[in-house]
Structure 1
């Protein structure tokens, strides 16, 4: 992709879109009945099979989960000490840095990127310092209003503050000395929308944002209800403790479809990817639970694709030309496909950070 251009990779869409006066995307399919049926099916799957389930069905792993080549870096925060895993760039530079954000079922011991992929050492070998924050299940990496009152959460999530203040302070200090500006942030699923949000509101820190199978139109019909159900399933979290009830302005503040002009005006380099939902090379189900998770991943990825396509139309409607879109013809909501996207975006990422 070159500056001043919009790149679409694997573009097989056959929809027509428009924006209403209220900024809500309307999809006007050429084959209306079939596409509406598929959209309804995807939405139904997203509610019945919540958004976090497919992250469990990761397929073949690329490493042994814990990488001794990384180091633990702890940073204090309002949530207590938070661990990140860090891979230093092989060439020793301290300017090219990317944060990799996890999905809805983020664990407290390791980031899913480390557990399921080899992108930490890979990007480090390419001259990029990699930072993987650990934790944040169902957090959307945002600052919550209050602790979740459904599951006895003790502290209020303050992930946006952590990622934009506490963590960069720690990374800039001591033996690390990492740059605080022109940093990249890339996330999957829940972390995809969060990556775009962080870049939109903190342009002095983030010059690059990537959403892989992210939900970029959360004000669309059914999305807020789907997120509510997903967060209950993933840890029993109450979404009202995050952004308040559905009519609270915080929902709009964190919706990439709504804040798209910020990304355009900031000049943020953006990478958006979502696959078709059709099984591909990483889908090799053998047991009943494998087939269940594959079906779940198909529905989730179809929903992510619909969201990402809506975001594409929104950016085009406001004249934004700073986005690369990659829509593979095959792929479900799985780590193998997200690892492939990191390999695809590596050159673009390297050129636009540091």
Structure 2
């Protein structure tokens, strides 16, 4: 089976499935389609500048578009790592999915396929990228908002794959009473998705499994960068307008509470982690800045300078 990719708007053939490629391309950008149980999943890839095997998975937010990952359009992530020897991998799609394996399709919006994002990100995608010489084990994972908590959860449960995890304004304590209702409301607002079809009723073990604060012990020894804003707007909010800024202030104030709970939990357990609550709101420019802060840590851990 030969897969296709899009390079600069042109469709080209990718490597046949099962065909070994000894090393990834040195630099450049591609869009590939990866076979999965959910159907073909698009990924945007910026190859390591010098053909290295390390990778950084970058997860989108709750409103993840179907055609691109917002990190590639709303931040300078591609430019930040353009000269680095690490392959950036941006999964496309999965809005309101929390990048987790759902119990069943959402019964409130006609969804036909059950989300199985953990399976994709930790099995199907690394198997596919291995054909390009990308390591299954020398990887980092970060995300913003929905993707932030998911990055921490995936790293916690797949320590054999991820050597660094980062969360920027993430949902880090979804089992907390205020947060679980916030998750329900956010998913309903973004596509009429039903949280009960994702993790079952509150109290189901799936909630705890996907709560980075509850699973903090599994993160022991993993380099981490966790950040959130305190809800205070700044110059980076100006292009978004007053209405969006007010909404982003409220969302980020809530994210700061969850981040503080996570910070206190890892501190109580004696788990080293870099956790920062800084000025800022729930807006892409701040997440781009957080990624820039995390970049030296990621490169050091992966040996990807």
- The two structures have a TM-score, normalised by structure 1, of 0.76
Deviations 1:265-309 (A, max 9, x none): xx21111000111011211168xxx21211110011111111011
The reply to whether residue 112 of structure 1 matches residue 70 of structure 2 is: yes
For residue 297 of structure 2, what is the aligned residue in structure 1? Answer: 348
For residue 233 of structure 2, what is the aligned residue in structure 1? Answer: 279
Residue 67 of structure 1 deviates from its aligned partner by: 7.2
Task: Write the distance in 2 (CA, Å) between the matches of 1:299 and 1:250.
Answer: 27
Task: Write the distance in 1 (CA, Å) between the matches of 2:119 and 2:239.
Answer: 40
* Correspondence for 2:45 among 80, 86, 91: 86
Residue 169 of structure 1 deviates from its aligned partner by: 0.6
Note if contact 1:87-1:121 (Cα within 8 Å) is conserved in structure 2.
no
Residue 72 of structure 1 deviates from its aligned partner by: 1.1
SS in 2 for 1:109: coil
Task: Write the distance in 2 (CA, Å) between the matches of 1:339 and 1:225.
Answer: 28
Instruction: Give the CA RMSD over aligned residues.
Output: 1.5
What is the 5 A alignment of 1:331-342? Answer: 331-342=280-291
The reply to whether residue 168 of structure 1 matches residue 126 of structure 2 is: yes
Note if contact 1:67-1:114 (Cα within 8 Å) is conserved in structure 2.
no
Residue 341 of structure 1 deviates from its aligned partner by: 1.1
Task: Write the distance in 2 (CA, Å) between the matches of 1:178 and 1:285.
Answer: 37
For residue 252 of structure 2, what is the aligned residue in structure 1? Answer: 301
Residue 115 of structure 1 deviates from its aligned partner by: 1.4
* Correspondence for 1:123 among 50, 59, 81: 81
For residue 13 of structure 2, what is the aligned residue in structure 1? Answer: none
* Correspondence for 2:35 among 76, 80, 86: 76
Structure 1 segments of 4+ aligned residues over 3 angstroms from their partners: 66-69
* Correspondence for 1:132 among 90, 99, 105: 90
* Correspondence for 2:174 among 188, 194, 218: 218
Task: Write the distance in 2 (CA, Å) between the matches of 1:177 and 1:120.
Answer: 20
Identify which of structures 1 and 2 has the higher relative contact order when contacts are C-alpha pairs closer than 8 Å and 6+ apart: 1
Residue 138 of structure 1 deviates from its aligned partner by: 0.2
Note if contact 1:285-1:294 (Cα within 8 Å) is conserved in structure 2.
no
Task: Write the distance in 1 (CA, Å) between the matches of 2:261 and 2:153.
Answer: 16
SS in 2 for 1:273: strand
SS in 1 for 2:243: helix
Task: Write the distance in 1 (CA, Å) between the matches of 2:120 and 2:57.
Answer: 12
For residue 35 of structure 1, what is the aligned residue in structure 2? Answer: none
* Correspondence for 1:326 among 276, 282, 287: 276
Give 5+ residue unaligned stretches, structure 1.
1-65
Residue 98 of structure 1 deviates from its aligned partner by: 0.2
Residue 99 of structure 1 deviates from its aligned partner by: 0.2
Task: Write the distance in 2 (CA, Å) between the matches of 1:353 and 1:217.
Answer: 28
For residue 228 of structure 1, what is the aligned residue in structure 2? Answer: 184
* Correspondence for 1:317 among 253, 260, 268: 268
Task: Write the distance in 1 (CA, Å) between the matches of 2:224 and 2:289.
Answer: 17
Note if contact 1:189-1:212 (Cα within 8 Å) is conserved in structure 2.
yes
* Correspondence for 2:214 among 255, 258, 279: 258
SS in 1 for 2:68: coil
For residue 3 of structure 2, what is the aligned residue in structure 1? Answer: none
Residue 247 of structure 1 deviates from its aligned partner by: 1.9
Give 5+ residue unaligned stretches, structure 2.
1-6, 10-27
For residue 45 of structure 1, what is the aligned residue in structure 2? Answer: none
Note if contact 1:99-1:131 (Cα within 8 Å) is conserved in structure 2.
yes
